Amino acid sequence: MPALRISPEDLLKRLKSENLLIVDVRQDTPYENSKLKIAGSVRLLPNDDESINMFMKSIDKTKPIVTYCT
């Protein structure tokens, strides 16, 4: 399935009705300076290949995945 871009409003609707896996891939500074975090999201650094590989092996691949950054 191709990656699709969705709006914040669409994400909010989907969070209320779907079982999504939300992945925060912001770099350290934007993440640490932001007061906005999505509850239940998983944080992965985009350049941490080892963590990303471990994460990808452990997730339920039947769930839709939403990644977000700044």
pLDDT at 1: 64
Overall number of domains in the chain? 1
Residue type, 30: P
Residue 1 inside a domain? The answer is no
Helix count and strand count (H, E) for the chain: 3, 3
> Mean pLDDT per 10-residue run, the chain (70 residues)?
84 89 94 92 93 93 88
* Distances in whole angstroms, Cα of residue 28 to Cα of each of 6, 56, 61: 23, 21, 26
Residue 2 inside a domain? The answer is no
Residue 5 inside a domain? The answer is no
Helix ranges (H only) for the chain are 8-17, 28-33, 49-58
Residue 43 inside a domain? The answer is yes
